[in-house]
Homo-oligomer: A and B are copies of this chain.
Amino acid sequence: MSTYYCQSMSEKLTRILNAATTCIARSGVRGMRVNDVAAEAGVSPGLLYYHFTDRAGLLAATLEHINKQVSKDDAVLSSLGAEDRSRHVRHLLLDEIKDDADVRRNSVAWNELRACSIFEQELAEPLSRTTAEWNIEIAHAIVAASEGTSEDEASVTAEILTSLVEGISGRWLSGFITTDHARHLLTTAIDSLTTTRPTTRQEPAAQGRGK
């Protein structure tokens, strides 16, 4: 019902994009069947070709849609106390792994897209952009949390942590480890990697990593 075509996005469009995301989460990018998406969205297959010219178009639109979902979680980091800032990094990362249908759905889709991008480089570009943004976000949070950390160091740490989230997510999603265990591993790693980064005492004979 209703027709706001030009305006934002008709309800059916949204339904289709959500259906596609669900299908991708259910059986992967390569397992996504156009007919299944149509059925899931409760529309006819032809409609998908009317709006998105072909399967690739639907996929591209869905990718963008997922990207938007994922990156809209950007949080406001200003107006946080020192204690909170330290916890900010942790929350930002831990939020990617929890027992929440939407989080899991997006995570599966994201995981799939990354796996597919190895074989189809047209997927790689938007993906790498979003990944880079994520890294920057985390790096900022790290700098904000501990003042002794340089931008470069924070950047490397952020890359490590976001990669780790993806690695742990893989095992979590395939049911090899529980949500709690995944979060435990992540927490441990965050603690270890974000404290005493540079030449802070600790081992005396530390190799001079300060760069």
Contacts and interface: CB of A to CB of B under 8 A. Distances in A.
Interface residues of A, number: 58
A45 interface: no
A115 B124 contact: no
A164 interface: yes
A67 interface: no
Contacts of A168: 163, 167
Given A118-B111, A167-B168, A195 B202 contact: yes
Given A26-B119, A192-B197, 7 more contacts: A27-B119, A117-B174, A121-B174, A163-B167, A163-B171, A167-B168, A191-B209
Interface of A: 26-28, 30-31, 86, 108, 111-112, 114-119, 121, 124, 127-128, 131, 146, 156, 159-160, 162-168, 170-171, 173-176, 184-185, 188-189, 191-193, 195-198, 200-203, 206-211
